[in-house]
């Protein structure tokens, strides 16, 4: 139906609307996304203000023994773990680590992926073919297995250690996810660029003598921001759940001194199911689910909001 009412100007009677405002208004019409934003915002605040919001240190006992496996109570809102540490506080510190892993690796992999995808899509030809085959190669391997293999192989190479840190470190995991996260972004951005490439405003830029770099920077990337942002959100979710999966199998980040991550806490749920200490399983997993769902809703709403078809005007 949109095509039927195209053609008239919006300027005379309605207010000025920039494409950004249109996207924002479309975004905020998704209730689930708005609620998700709020939830994440609150969570992030909690996490940033950790020394204040957490009641205990990450390695601190709630009370003198007996202190292990205490059910949720006044001095330990979500109960305690096997050595008496407050689950609530550990959750806050854990989420902080996981969010950081998620965000940093997502930003790195999306940056790599967007550049690769844009250049491949725009240049086309053999360059595009080669890049895409490499991408396919990466995507062909089962994620988890490859992750573990690469982790162990890379970790064994001694001269890499100064760069990447120990196999168990947070830095290593971020690098690992960055290596494996860029491919799907590259694919998406390449697809977007391919469809934009033939549009006349790109030809117009070429007609005035614009270089390839100029066109990619000035036209292709700004018009691909939508898919890029959507990729970003899904990369974050991928990294967080990926980290949890690794930790579940015991390969999570061990930063020592009781430092923890959401993944490690979720991993501890393994034992809790048998022993009946339900709070050790329920709360970490619930947190993981809420974070993943929220980011997913936001990603969906972003995809809708940045749909360039709607930018053609009424």
Partner 1 sequence: MTEIILKIRNLHVTFDTPFGQVLAVRGVDLDVMKGEVLGVVGESGSGKSVSFLATMGLLSSRARVSGSIVLDGEELIGKSPQQMRSVRGRVMSMIFQDPLSALNPVHRIGKQISEMLQSHQELTKKQAATRATELLDLVGITQPAERATQFPHEFSGGMRQRVVIAIAIANNPKLLIADEPTTALDVTVQAQILEVIKRVQQQLGTAVVLITHDLGIIARVADRVDVMYAGRNVEQGLVDDLYDHPSHPYTRGLLRSIPRPGKERLTPIAGFPPNMISPPSGCAFRTRCEYATEQCETTIPELKLFTDLQTACLRANELPDFRIAQ
Partner 2 sequence: MNSELLRVTNLVKNFQIRRTKRSGSVKRLVQAVSNVSFSIEKGQTLGLVGESGSGKTTVGRCILRLVEPTSGKIEFDGQDLGSMEFEELRALRRKMQIVFQDPFASLDPKMTVGASIAEPLIVQRVPGSHSDKIIELLELVGLSADHASRFPHEFSGGQRQRIGIARALALNPALIILDEPVSALDVSIQAGVINLFDDLQKKLSIGYLFIAHDLSVVRHIADRVAVMYLGKIVEIGDQETVYENPTHPYTKALLSAVPLTDPKIERTRTRLMLEGEVPSPMNPPSGCRFRTRCWKAQDVCSQEEPILTLRPSGQMSACHFPEA
Does residue 308 belong to the site contacting partner 2 (CB under 8 A)?
yes
Stretch that binds partner 1, among 21-29, 114-122, 170-178, 236-244 (CB under 8 A): 21-29
Residue (141 or 307) nearer to partner 2, CB: 307
Q: Answer with the entry of partner 1, partner 2, none that 205 interacts with (C-beta below 5 to 8 A by kind).
A: partner 2
Cβ proximity of 281 and 69 under 8 Å? no
Residues 6+ apart with CB under 8 A from 285: 266, 269
How many C-beta atoms lie closer than 10 Å to residue 222's C-beta? 11
Cβ proximity of 228 and 114 under 8 Å? yes
For partner 2, how many residues bind (rule: CB under 8 A)?
31
How many residues does this entry show for the chain? 314
Site residues for partner 2, 87-126, by CB under 8 A, read none
As a whole number of angstroms, the distance between CA 218 and CA 220 comes to 6
Between 162 and 201, how does the x/- string for binding to partner 2 read (CB under 8 A)? Answer: -------------------------------------xxx
When binding is defined by CB under 8 A, the residue of 51, 209, 257, 274 that contacts partner 2 is 209
Q: Answer with the entry of partner 1, partner 2, none that 1 interacts with (C-beta below 5 to 8 A by kind).
A: partner 1
Residue (226 or 263) nearer to partner 1, CB: 226
Site residues for partner 1, 1-20, by CB under 8 A, read 1, 4-10, 12-14
Give min distance, CB of 218 to partner 2, in A.
8
Residue 285 φ then ψ, to 5°: -65, -40
Q: Answer with the entry of partner 2, partner 1, none that 141 interacts with (C-beta below 5 to 8 A by kind).
A: none
Between 4 and 43, how does the x/- string for binding to partner 2 read (CB under 8 A)? Answer: --xxxxxx----xxxx--x---------------------
Give min distance, CB of 22 to partner 2, in A.
8
**Of residues 241, 265, 258, 243, the one with CA closest to residue 87:** 265
How many C-beta atoms lie closer than 10 Å to residue 32's C-beta? 14
Cβ proximity of 240 and 98 under 8 Å? yes
Residues 6+ apart with CB under 8 A from 97: 170, 253, 255, 259, 260, 261, 262
Which residues in 261-273 are b (16+ Cβ under 10 Å) and which e? bbbbbbbbbeebe
DSSP string, 186-211: HHHHHHHHHHHHTSHHHHHHHHTT--
Residue (26 or 197) nearer to partner 1, CB: 26
As a whole number of angstroms, the distance between CA 186 and CA 195 comes to 14
Q: Answer with the entry of partner 2, partner 1, none that 26 interacts with (C-beta below 5 to 8 A by kind).
A: partner 1
Q: Answer with the entry of partner 1, partner 2, none that 217 interacts with (C-beta below 5 to 8 A by kind).
A: none
Does residue 259 belong to the site contacting partner 2 (CB under 8 A)?
no
The pair of structure tokens assigned to 222 is 């700004």
Cβ proximity of 219 and 199 under 8 Å? no
Does residue 26 belong to the site contacting partner 1 (CB under 8 A)?
yes
> Under the rule (CB under 8 A), what is the footprint of partner 2?
6-11, 16-19, 22, 199-201, 203-210, 214, 218-219, 222-223, 308, 311-313
> Under the rule (CB under 8 A), what is the footprint of partner 1?
1, 4-10, 12-14, 22, 25-26, 29, 314
């Amino acid at each position: 139906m949109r095509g039927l009412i195209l053609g008239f100007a919006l300027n005379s009677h309605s207010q000025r609307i920039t494409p950004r405002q249109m996207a924002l208004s479309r975004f905020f019409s998704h209730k689930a996304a708005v609620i998700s934003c709020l939830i994440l915002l609150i969570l992030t605040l909690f996490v940033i203000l950790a020394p204040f919001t957490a009641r205990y240190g990450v390695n601190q006992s709630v009370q003198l023994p007996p202190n292990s496996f205490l059910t949720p109570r006044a001095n330990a809102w979500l109960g305690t773990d096997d050595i008496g540490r407050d689950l609530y506080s550990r959750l806050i510190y854990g989420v902080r680590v996981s969010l950081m892993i998620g965000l940093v690796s997502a930003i790195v992999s999306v940056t790599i992926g967007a550049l690769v995808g844009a250049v491949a899509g725009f240049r086309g030809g053999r360059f595009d073919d080669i890049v895409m085959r490499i991408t396919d190669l990466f995507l062909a391997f089962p994620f988890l297995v490859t992750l573990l293999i690469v982790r162990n192989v890379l970790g064994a190479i001694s001269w890499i250690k100064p760069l990447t840190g120990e196999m168990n470190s947070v830095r290593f995991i971020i690098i690992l996810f960055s290596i494996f996260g860029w491919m799907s972004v590259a694919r998406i951005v390449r697809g977007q660029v391919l469809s934009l490439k033939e549009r006349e405003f790109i030809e117009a830029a070429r007609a005035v003598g614009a270089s390839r770099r100029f066109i990619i920077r000035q036209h292709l990337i700004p018009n691909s921001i939508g898919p890029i942002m959507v990729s970003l959100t899904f990369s974050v979710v991928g990294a967080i759940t990926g980290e949890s999966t690794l930790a579940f199998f015991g390969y999570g980040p061990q930063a020592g001194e009781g430092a923890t991550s959401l993944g490690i806490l979720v991993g501890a749920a393994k034992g809790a199911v048998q022993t009946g200490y339900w709070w050790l399983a329920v709360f970490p997993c619930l947190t993981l689910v809420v974070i993943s769902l929220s980011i997913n809703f936001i990603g969906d709403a972003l995809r809708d909001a940045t749909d360039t078809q709607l930018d053609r005007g009424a």
